[in-house]
């Protein structure tokens, strides 16, 4: 059923010597009849002549919406020499016109306040302290829930852990092999250039073997996982934060730590020793290829020398380091992801921050291990 509409119309009548009455008729609808233009307003003011007061008569007014309010506001804004009385408009239109008139065109600019140096230092110190407290709480909860997980009472799904282990382990074999193989070859080449001057080419095997097993395999594998897995953890959790999935888990009473953080920490820590052994193999292979190709050494002599240079202490030390690196990378990614904002830009920032924090943390922790190893005589 179609409702017939009447075109909007107006006519001006003089009521007193200094007053005019604007009679509105028809339907004033923005979608069907549009909004009156400025020429109409100027025509009304011209016909009003020397009147000092303009009022409305809406007895013949039909349906109306914002078109009527806009028209009345245009008329009031353009009337500089006469008073426009909105009392004759419908009550709702009068209230809307009053609200539209009261809103200022421009908001005054807030005076810029500059913080003092002491205030900036204080704010940043408080922010860093809050981050340190949050990280300490996360580490403590990891230890606590990890002990609970050993008894089988943690609320995490085994299928999630297995999937994360496959992504962190098998999915990283290619990049770990390439990086550590190249690092082993570079160490072998640098050592060959220097040791050839002293006729000690055979000690290239010692250099590559000790450097890869003790330092480079663990550090380079951790750096690769920080860029590959730590950033992925942060992006995943930040996306869940933006989609309010974490809020939904909390509302359902599901422990977020057991369901999201602990499986990721367990998966990465479990895969890091295997990746470390794998990296050591490719690093030693890279040094072997360079040593045999650039020096007058046989593969047998190289391997015998490498075996004599390495012992179980070197491997145990490397395994302890890589376990600590894995826990650090996983915790950094999860912490940054859970504390990220809810916008799409925050997801990218969280991933970048997790990669940077993971790499810097690995290098710093490796320095601590080096100092401890020197103190212990390892």
**190 CB-contact burial (10 Å; exposed 0-12 / middle 13-18 / buried 19+):** middle
Under a CB-based contact definition with an 8 Å cutoff, are residues 226 and 334 in contact?
no
Q: For 345-373, how does the pLDDT look when each residue is reduced to its tens digit (9 = 90+)?
A: 888 889 999 999 999 999 999 999 999 88
Fold for domain 9-102?
Answer: Transcription Regulator spoIIAA (3.30.750)
Q: For 236-248, how does the pLDDT look when each residue is reduced to its tens digit (9 = 90+)?
A: 999 988 888 888 8
What are the DSSP E strand ranges found in the chain? Answer: 9-16, 19-28, 53-64, 83-85
Under a CB-based contact definition with an 8 Å cutoff, are residues 67 and 33 in contact?
yes
**Cβ neighbours of 310 (radius 10 Å):** 19
Gap between the Cα atoms of 7 and 27, Å rounded: 6
Tokens 């920490």 belong to which residue?
Answer: 265
Distances (CA, A) of 108 to 105, 111, 366: 10, 9, 54
pLDDT exceeding 70 applies to what percent of the chain?
A: 92
- Residue 100: closest CA among 116, 89, 111, 110: 89
pLDDT of amino acid 154: 67
pLDDT of amino acid 122: 85
Q: For 294-332, how does the pLDDT look when each residue is reduced to its tens digit (9 = 90+)?
A: 887 888 888 998 888 888 888 999 999 999 999 999 998
Domain boundaries, the chain: 9-102, 137-376
pLDDT of amino acid 212: 92
- Mean pLDDT estimate for the chain: 83
DSSP summary character for residue 115: -
pLDDT of amino acid 281: 93
pLDDT of amino acid 311: 87
Under a CB-based contact definition with an 8 Å cutoff, are residues 342 and 242 in contact?
yes
- The residue ranges of the chain whose pLDDT is under 70 are 1-4, 16-17, 101-115, 149-150, 152-154
**Cβ neighbours of 362 (radius 10 Å):** 27
Gap between the Cα atoms of 10 and 56, Å rounded: 10
Gap between the Cα atoms of 245 and 241, Å rounded: 6
Under a CB-based contact definition with an 8 Å cutoff, are residues 204 and 287 in contact?
yes
Distances (CA, A) of 362 to 7, 142, 222, 266, 329: 76, 18, 7, 18, 8
Gap between the Cα atoms of 4 and 21, Å rounded: 27
């Amino acid at each position: 059923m179609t409702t017939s509409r009447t075109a909007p119309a107006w006519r001006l009548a003089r009521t007193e010597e200094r007053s005019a009455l604007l009679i509105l008729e028809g339907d004033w609808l923005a979608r069907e009849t549009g909004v009156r233009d400025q020429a109409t307003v100027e025509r009304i003011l011209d016909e009003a002549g020397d009147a000092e007061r303009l009022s409305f008569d809406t007895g013949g007014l039909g349906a109306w919406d914002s078109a009527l309010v806009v028209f009345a506001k245009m008329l009031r804004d353009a009337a500089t020499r006469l008073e426009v009385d909105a009392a004759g408009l419908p009550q709702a239109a009068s209230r809307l016109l009053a609200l539209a008139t009261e809103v200022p065109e421009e908001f005054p600019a807030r005076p810029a306040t500059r913080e003092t140096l002491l205030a900036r230092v204080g704010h940043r110190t408080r922010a860093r302290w809050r981050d340190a407290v949050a990280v300490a709480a996360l580490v403590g909860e990891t230890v606590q829930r990890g002990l609970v997980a050993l008894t089988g009472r943690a609320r995490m799904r085994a299928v999630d852990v297995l999937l994360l282990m496959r992504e962190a382990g098998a999915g990283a074999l290619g990049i770990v092999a390439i990086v550590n193989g190249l690092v082993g070859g570079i160490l072998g080449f640098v050592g060959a250039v220097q040791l050839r001057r002293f006729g000690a080419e055979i000690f290239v095997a010692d250099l590559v073997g000790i450097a890869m097993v003790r330092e480079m395999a663990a550090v380079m594998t951790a750096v690769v996982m920080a860029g590959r897995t730590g950033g992925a953890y942060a992006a995943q959790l930040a996306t869940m934060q933006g989609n309010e999935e974490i809020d939904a888990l909390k509302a359902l009473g599901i422990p977020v730590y057991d369901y999201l953080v602990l499986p990721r920490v367990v998966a990465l820590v479990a895969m890091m020793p295997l990746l470390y052994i794998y990296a050591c193999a490719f690093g030693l292979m890279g040094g072997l290829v360079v040593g045999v190709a650039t020096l007058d050494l046989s593969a047998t002599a190289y391997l015998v020398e490498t075996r004599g240079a390495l012992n179980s202490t070197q491997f145990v030390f490397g395994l302890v380091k890589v376990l600590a690196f894995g826990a650090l990378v996983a915790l950094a990614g999860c912490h940054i992801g859970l504390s990220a904002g809810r916008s799409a830009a925050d997801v990218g920032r969280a991933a970048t921050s997790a990669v940077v924090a993971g790499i810097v943390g690995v290098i710093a922790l490796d320095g601590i291990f080096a100092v401890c190893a020197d103190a212990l005589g390892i």
